[in-house]
Each structure stands twice: as C-alpha cells, then as structure tokens.
A and B are shown apart, each in its own frame.
Chain A
C-alpha cells in the first residue's frame, strides 16, 4: 500500500508525459516565504520527467519487492516503509524543484531519510556508524552546496534554477560557488574522495540499498551536475574538476569492485564506478555526452536496481552473499539467474541491451575529438573494461555458485534444514520486480526508439543542441571496435582474476578512505576538545571581564568615533543633586575597597538608596518608592546568602590580575559615563512616553502612569517578568536544597550540626 505514492507519481508522469516529451514544461508555484521571495517552484521538463520516471518507477518496484523481502511481521517494517515513502517523496521533490533553496531542502531530506534507513537496525553498531558516516559526508557536502547556492543565487539575482541556467552569471564568485556546489554533488554521488560512505551504507536492508544507493539518492548529485553543466561547463575549473574526479572514481571504483567477495559490496563499488561515469558524461557539458549520460542514467537505474534485488533475494534465501560461501543455486533459480545475467550483461555493456546503447553513445561522443577527448575516452574505456570484469565476476558467482572451499554453510534459515545445497527458490512475486526491470533492460536494447525519445527529450531539456539517435547498429565504426576491445579486455581481466586480485591487494591505497574518515572524526573531536578548553576555562571573573569589556569597548568605540560631544546635561551644577551624588560616589568607593563581604553588601545598599534619592529629586516618587523597597529587600536577602560565605573576601589575587580587573572596571565605567551623556542627545524621535502619559487616564483608567504602563501598556511583558520571577524562585530554592542535602542527611542521622560554609575564615 505504501507503494501507492510512487505509483501515483508514475501514473501522473505518464499522463503528462506526452506534452513534456514534445518539449513542453509543467510548472507549479506555491508561495512559501513571500517576504523573502521564497516560493516552492516546481518544474518538470524532459530531464525532470526522465528523473521522475526513474525515481518513481523504480520506487514502485522497490516497494513491491520489499513487501516480499520483509514479510508482514518483521519488527520495524512499518517505520521502514514509512521512511521509504518519505524518501520517495523527497526524491521526487528534489528532481522537480526549480528553486535552489527548495532543492536544498529536499536534498537534505533525502540525506536524513538515508541516515534513518541505513541505521534501520539500530541495535547494530556497524549500522549506526555507517548511518552516521553517510549523514556526515552527505550533510557536510550539503552545507558546502548550500553556501554555493547562496553565492550563485546572489550573483544571478534569482534562485530559480531554470533562470540561472538560462542566463548564467559569471565571475570569480561564481567559480567559487560552483566548486562548493560540486563538492556537495560529489559527496552525495559518492565520488572520490567522498565515496567511502556508500560501501559502508550497504549494511542497510537490500531494498533500501537498491533504491537509495543505486537508483535514486546517489543520482541526486549527478542530477545537479547535469542541470548545471550545460551552462557552467566552460566556467573556471568546472570541466577539469568534473572530468578528473569522475574518471578517477570510475576507475578506482571498478578496481575496488574487482576485489570484493561480498556481492553487495561489489555492487556498491560498481555503483561508485558507474556514478563516476555518469558524472563525466553529464558534467562535461557536451550535447553528445549529455545524450549518452541520460541514456546511461536510465540503463544504470534499471540494471543496478535489478541486480541489487537479485542479490537481496539470494541473501534472503541462502543467508549469505559472499562469493566464496555461496551455495549452489539449483532447481527453480533459473529465472533469477536469467534476470541477473541479463542485468549484469547490460552493466557490462553487451549488445543488445540498454547498457550497450548508453556505452556506444558515450564512446561516440568522444571518439571524434581532440587529444583531450582521446584521453577522456581512454579513461572511459579503462573504466568500462573493469566494469565488464566485475560484471562477469558477479554473473559467474551467481550462475556457477558453489562453495569453492568445500565448506558448506547450513545456517541458511529454518526451511532449508531439509537438505544441504537446496536453497529454497524464491517465489515469483519476490522476483517479479527485478524481472520487470530486466525486461525493461532487454526491451529497450532491442527496440531503442522508446528510450531514444525519452532520452532525447531529457537531453534537449538540459542542452537544446542535444539530440538522441540511439541505435543498436551504427555500422562498423571505431565505436564498435572500442566496444569489442572493452569486452575483450574485460574477459581477459576476468580470466586472470587471481593474479589481478594479488596485484590489487598489493596496490590497495594506504590509508584506506574509511581510515581517513575515522581520522577526520577524531581530529574534529580533538580540536573541539582543545577549543572548548581554551574558551571555557571555567573562571567566572574571566567570563565577566570578557562580557563587560566587549559590551563596553564595541559600542564605546562607536560612541567615541561617531558623535561629537553633546555638552553637559542640564542637571550638572544643580545643588539639589549633591547629597544624592555624594551618597552614590561614597557608597560605591567604600564598597569597592571594603574587605568584608557584609560591609560591601551594605554599602551597595547605600548606593541603591542614593539612586532612590536621585529619583526623588527628579520628581519620580513611584520609582523612588520601588527603588527603596527593592534595595531594602535585596540587602536583606543578600545578607541571608552571605552568611554561608566566608566573612572576608578571598585572599587578594596577584597584582597583575588586580590591575587587569581595575582596568576592566575603569573601562566599563568610562563607557557608561559617556553613554549616559550621549544617549539623551541622540534622540531623533519624540519620546513615546508623551503618548503614554496622554493615554494613561482615558485608556488605562489610572492616573499613575508607571502603573498603567506596567499593567496595561506593557502587560504582556509584566506577565513574562513575573513568570521569570517564579522560575528564579524555584531555581534558587532548588540550588539551596541541593547544596544542603548532605548536611540534612547527617542531621537526620543524629550527628551534631555543622556549619554550611566549607572553609570559613572564622575561628
């Protein structure tokens, strides 16, 4: 039932397909954040249709497949299905989004669902770490990409993908933006050097691997590269970067795939290799290559998903997917083998299958070019030779499988206990989705016109100059010869596979990519450790100094540099203020030099009374009253707490520290002084208080303006403040109780009371 979503998408796509194939475009727009100009722009052109067909078509089949794979009562199957559905939706959104930021949202959504799906078996440590690995790599790349998107969008003046591609911006910023975007795309599509997460992700259930890590999610990066390539391929480092990374990925992935004995890992590295191929084709920005890329996109989706499904079936029925340990697959496995061989042959590029068409088109795109093209072609051929070799290896393992070592695994599962070597054959329903895909592979190869039309529309949407003429037989051309060379080379490699394995083992990269990833993680941990230790030493005076200095210096500098001296305020020289000022200054100085805590607290109270006196002189009885009350009560409460502290201040700190603190205090004081002088002069609007005073009586129903402000004009603030008061009271009580608990427990135990203060100076 959960497959209904993707199925509906397929149906919808078929319904609209006619118009889009003729070059039409379907667009939708929904406002998201209008004030930021953010809209959910959706747009389906030929390429979008191709991707929708790929994502949703394979999605539907994967749902059908996982229904059989998991059975009804597997724990967590509901969650898994839901996540798969979410992923299918996100992927659909990704390929139809026309706004870079909307695309980014869907992009991250696929990363997150991928994380959850890989880590499906959350009790498995390996699954958790693989999930994290994938999330960190693709998410990190995604962040780089977001940066690139923002740069690109700002340069272009629009975030609409279609508009950017139609009128590409230029300049150094754009080059930087493109590199960032490419990093994100490479990370998502498992290109070297970001590939290591994809093989690790193979701990996921096979349907997940078949869908996310073969057909859909890893294509997101390829999709983005393809979208941008026609417009930006000539900009800066795009083409060299894309081609080199793609070729390295293709060859290195192929080499790794040759070495694996786990069928799923073999397929995973095969996917890495093929993704490199796709990146080269779709990223180079040539019409012919774009056509080949679109064809390969479809072909790869079909054969790779089918192969994953077959491997999953084998794993499910036989309990192993290791080449060496695979039991012979006997009676009833014929159809599965046919599906596997057909798909593997398509992967290898054998005629007359879909993979062959794509590979021919790819060779064709480069065979008539410059020396640089020849070099690329050589890389592609090398990669394809490896592809042929590992395809053979896979097919060979499935067809001629048997325990090479003679060791027999008999832990295949319950129903297999009857006899060794008779792995239960899969039901037709289990195999059907893979069979459908294999049928597509064959049908497309034999009769390429349907694919040709789809690819034509897709490629034309990317690059108007691209036109597809996919045919099986081009005549005796150089391309055909290259295909023959490729297949021959692959056969040769397979024939001498033992030796190849030995050489490979010797050549394996040191350190392996996974180790690099781990080291990077550890490095980040260590840096975080050091940074935290440096910026948070736990010294309260230091924190206070930093906060105060920042608060004083930053706006203070602005004050000093910005405005002229506004002159002394009118109160200067008024004799009425003298007593208050004397109280304030005297109290403050005395408090600063006091050596006993009690004295200091009381002197602070004196300063507060001085403030109240100031209010009285200014004619603000309400403020003065409040100030008196607050001051009285706070001194009392202060003293309550102070009883628990030593009577005198701690021993004097060393002279440099004291000088520093004095400096901080003087700076802050100077800043506040200047601010107090400058602030009244900075007023440009009539004060809001006039209106408050005017409206207090008629609207607020009271003659005390302060009270009306508190209770009516800013009543919500007051409500918030008293809530804070309540929280503070509860918090203070909790802290006090925590600090007292040990003594209270002792008290209940009947021992004599002891003072709370741990190290009082008192005798």
Chain B
C-alpha cells in the first residue's frame, strides 16, 4: 500500500479528535443529540479514516484489543445492566438515576442508562472493526478500483 505522509499525519490527528467527539456524543446523549449508537458510528468513522490511510494494518494497530472482544464486552455490559435491577429486586431494565456533587466538577448527573449506552457504543464499534477485519484485509492491485 502506498502511504502518503500528509494523509498519514492528518489522519493521525483527525482520528483522535473524532474519537473524542464520539465519546462526547456518547455521554452527552442523554440530554443533547447523541447517544451510544451515534457515538459508536462516529468512532467507526474514525476507524474508517485509519483504514483509508494505512489499510487493515493501521486499523489493527489502532485497537489494542481484537474486534470480537469489543463486541462481546459491549453485549455483556448491556446485558448485565439489564439484569442487575432484577437482582436488586426490580424489573428487568429498570433504570436508576443518581446525582452527585463532586468537588471541582460541580453537579454530576448519571443514570444507569448511560452504562447501557456504553454497551451499545462498544457493540457498534466492535461491529465496524469486525467488518473491516472481514472484508478489508486484501488491498489487491487490479481488483476492483481500490477504496
């Protein structure tokens, strides 16, 4: 794969910014536009940028864990969030709302739905990585027109 320094460098910066944006969307989602699904998609776009710059190897370097691990952990987080209220004596998927005043950060507001949303986020990111893993690892010359 031919790699261009300009693309490499700019992708390096942009993709981190996009990842931060995706995290922001994830946590802002409850009160403003955003959420785990959109956040995950945006993170997926960051992965796509890396792919454009360096192919599947760059995608693999970007993620310290394998895609299926992310996928599984995401589903696990969401499921556990769903089940925990049951153990606490409530109905499945009951949501808890908590408010804290933390020094220096001011007012904190969180619901257990956010944890569930993290699960969704992880699943979407994992899905994207999986697809790149599945279809992205053969940049053959002469095959199609290249991405």
Q: Which residues of A contact B (CB under 8 A)?
A: 598, 621-622, 625-626, 629-630, 632-633, 636-637, 639-647, 700-704, 706-708, 710-712, 715-716, 718-719, 722-723, 725-726, 728-730, 732-733, 735-737, 740, 753, 755-757, 760, 762
Within 8 A of A (CB), among B74-96: 74-75, 78-79, 82, 92-93, 95
| A625–B36 CA distance with the chains assembled, in angstroms | 12
Q: How far is the CA of A703 from the CA of B144 in the complex (A)?
A: 47
Q: Does the CB pair A757–B144 fall under 8 Å?
A: yes
A722 touches B75 (CB 8 A): yes
Q: Is the Cβ of B138 less than 8 Å from the Cβ of A726?
A: no
Q: Could you list some 21 contacts between A and B, CB below 8 A? A: A598-B144, A622-B35, A626-B37, A632-B41, A640-B135, A643-B135, A643-B147, A645-B144, A701-B95, A702-B31, A707-B30, A710-B120, A711-B95, A711-B114, A715-B82, A726-B126, A729-B71, A729-B130, A730-B130, A736-B135, A753-B138
User: Are the C-beta atoms of A756 and B138 separated by less than 8 Å?
Assistant: yes
Closest Cβ of chain A to B118, distance in Å, is 11
Instruction: For residue B90, give the distance in angstroms from its CB to the closest CB of chain A.
Output: 13
Contact flag A636-B116 (CB < 8 Å), given A626-B38, A707-B29: no
Contact across chains for B71 and A726 when beta carbons are under 8 A apart = yes
Q: Which residues of B contact A733 (CB under 8 A)?
A: 130-131, 133-134
B120 touches A718 (CB 8 A): yes
B window 20-51: CB within 8 A of A: 25, 29-38, 41-42, 44-45, 48, 51
Q: Which residues of B contact A737 (CB under 8 A)?
A: 134
Question: By the criterion CB–CB under 8 Å, are B35 and A707 in contact?
Answer: yes
Asked whether A640 and B130 contact (CB < 8 A) given A622-B33, A626-B41, A704-B33, the answer is: no
B42 neighbours in A (Cβ, 8 Å)? 629
- A643 to B145: give the CA distance in the assembly, Å: 7
Q: A719-B82, A760-B143 are in contact. Are A701 and B34 (CB under 8 A)?
A: no
CB pair B134 A732 closer than 8 Å: yes
Query: Could you tell me the distance in whole angstroms from the C-beta of B19 to the nearest C-beta in chain A?
Result: 14
Residues of the B chain whose Cβ atoms lie less than 8 Å from the Cβ of A723: 75
In the docked arrangement, what's the CA distance between A729 and B125, Å? 11
Give, as a whole number of angstroms, the nearest-CB distance from A633 to chain B: 5
Given A622-B35, A704-B29, A736-B135, the answer on whether A725 and B82 have CB atoms closer than 8 Å is no
In the bound complex, do residue A715 and residue B135 qualify as a contact, i.e. CB atoms below 8 Å apart? no
- Structural contact, B142 and A755, CB atoms closer than 8 A: yes
Q: Which residue of B44, B72, B92 is within 8 Å of A633 (Cβ)?
A: B44
CA distance A733 to B34 in the complex (A): 28
CB-nearest residue of chain B relative to A640? B135
Q: Is the CB of A716 within 8 A of B92?
A: yes
A598→B147 CA distance, assembly (Å): 9
> What distance in Å separates the Cβ of B109 from its nearest Cβ neighbour in chain A?
7
B-side contacts of A728, CB under 8 Å: 127
Using A633-B44, A722-B120 as known contacts, say yes or no to A704 and B30 having CB atoms under 8 A apart. Answer: yes
Choice from B34, B45, B72, B97 contacting A704 with Cβ under 8 Å = B34
When chains A and B are docked, how far (Å) is the Cα of A736 from the Cα of B113?
34
Chain A residues whose CB sits within 8 angstroms of the CB of B138 once the complex forms: 740, 753, 756
Structural contact, B134 and A762, CB atoms closer than 8 A: no
B123 touches A (CB below 8 Å): yes
For residue B93, give the distance in angstroms from its CB to the closest CB of chain A: 4
Chain B residues with CB under 8 A of A629: 38, 41-42, 44-45
Q: How far is the CA of A646 from the CA of B75 in the complex (A)?
A: 36
B79 to chain A, nearest CB (A): 7
Name A725's contact: one of B35, B114, B127, B132 (CB within 8 Å): B127
B64 lies within 8 A of chain A by Cβ: no
**Which chain B residues lie closer than 8 Å to A644 at the CB level?**
135, 143-144
Q: In the complex, which residues of chain A have a beta carbon less than 8 angstroms from the beta carbon of B16?
A: none
Q: Which 9 pairs, one residue from A and one from B, show the smallest C-beta to C-beta distance?
A: A629-B41, A702-B30, A736-B134, A643-B144, A711-B113, A729-B130, A701-B97, A755-B143, A733-B134
**What chain B residues lie within 8 Å of A640 (beta carbons)?**
131-132, 135-136, 147
* Contact call A726/B35, Cβ cutoff below 8 A: no
Tell me whether A632 and B45 are in contact (CB under 8 A): yes
Question: A762 touching B143 by the CB < 8 A rule?
Answer: yes
B contact residues around A632 at 8 Å (CB): 41, 45, 48
- Chain B residues near A621: list those with CB within 8 A: 33
A621 and B126 CA atoms in complex are apart in Å by: 25
Q: Is the CB of B113 within 8 A of A704?
A: no
Q: Are B116 and A715 in contact (CB under 8 A)?
A: yes
Q: State the CA gap A706–B30 with chains docked (Å).
A: 9
A71 to B31 CA separation, bound complex (whole angstroms): 76
In addition to A598-B144, A630-B41, A755-B143, 6 A-B residue pairs with Cβ atoms within 8 Å of each other are A598-B145, A629-B44, A643-B135, A711-B116, A715-B93, A756-B140
Contact A633 B113, beta carbon cutoff 8 Å: no
Which chain B residues lie closer than 8 Å to A756 at the CB level?
A: 138, 140, 143
- B119 partner residues in chain A, CB cutoff 8 A: 722
For residue B124, CB closer than 8 A to chain A, the reply is yes
Instruction: Enumerate chain B residues within 8 angstroms of A740, measured Cβ to Cβ.
Output: 138
Q: Which of A630, A722, A737, A760 has the most CB of B within 10 A?
A: A722
B15 interface contact, C-beta 8 A: no
Closest B residue by C-beta to A737: B134
Most buried by A among B25, B75, B120, B138: B138
Are B34 and A622 in contact, with the CB atoms below 8 A? Answer: yes
- Partner of B123 from the list A626, A647, A707, A722 (CB cut-off 8 Å) is A722
A755 cross-chain contacts in B, Cβ below 8 A: 140, 142-143
Kindly list chain A residues whose C-beta atoms are within 8 Å of the C-beta of B41. 626, 629-630, 632-633
Choose among B30, B79, B140, B144 the residue that contacts A701 (Cβ–Cβ < 8 A): B30
Closest A residue to B131 by beta carbon equals A637
Give bound CA distance, A700 to B94, whole Å.
10
Contact of B35 among A704, A715, A719 (CB under 8 A): A704
The reply to whether A642 and B123 contact each other, CB–CB distance below 8 Å, is no
Q: Taking A722-B119, A762-B143 as contacts, is the C-beta distance between A729 and B33 under 8 angstroms?
A: no
Contacts of B34 in A (CB 8 A): 622, 625, 704, 707
Q: Is B111 close to A, CB under 8 A? A: yes
Which interface residue of A622, A640, A703, A740 has the most chain B CB atoms within 10 A?
Answer: A640
Interchain CB contact under 8 A, A704 and B140:
no
- If A704-B35, A715-B113 touch, whether A729 touches B144 (CB-CB below 8 Å) is no
Q: Which residues of A contact B32 (CB under 8 A)?
A: 703-704
Q: How far is the CA of A225 from the CA of B6 in the complex (A)?
A: 90
A719 engages B93 (CB within 8 Å)? yes
From residue A298, how far is it (CB to closest CB) to chain B in Å?
A: 59
- Residue of B74, B135, B143, B145 near A641 (CB, 8 A) is B135
B146 adjacent to chain A (CB < 8 Å): yes
Whether B92 pairs with A725 at a CB distance below 8 angstroms is no
Which residues of the partner chain A approach B29 to less than 8 Å between Cβ atoms?
702, 704, 707
Bound together, the chains give a CA A325 to CA B25 distance in angstroms of: 89
- Pairwise interchain contact A701-B78, C-beta atoms closer than 8 A: no
A398 to B145, CA, bound (A): 89
Which chain B positions have C-beta within 8 A of A639? 147
Contacts of B146 in A (CB 8 A): 643
Indicate whether A730 sits within 8 Å of B68 (C-beta atoms), given known contacts A703-B30, A723-B75, A756-B138: yes
Which of B37, B130, B134 meets A710, CB within 8 Å?
A: B37
Minimum Cβ distance to chain B for residue A47 (Å): 52
Determine whether the beta carbon of B93 is less than 8 Å from that of A760: no
Is the Cβ of B140 less than 8 Å from the Cβ of A710? no
Partner of B127, one of A625, A707, A718, A729: A729
CA distance A209 to B51 in the complex (A): 72
Which A residues touch B130, using CB under 8 A? 729-730, 732-733
Nearest CB of chain B from residue A736's CB, rounded to whole Å = 4
Q: Are B79 and A719 in contact (CB under 8 A)?
A: yes
* Inter-subunit contact A726/B127 (CB<8 Å): yes
CB-CB under 8 A for A702 and B143, given A629-B45, A711-B35: no
* B38:A625 contact, CB within 8 angstroms: yes
Q: Which residues of A contact B75 (CB under 8 A)?
A: 722-723, 726
Contacts of A636 in B (CB 8 A): 45, 48, 51, 147
Interface centre among B74, B130, B143 (most CB of A within 10 A): B143
Whole-angstrom distance between the Cβ of A305 and the nearest chain B Cβ: 56
A710 vs B30: C-alpha distance when bound (angstroms): 10
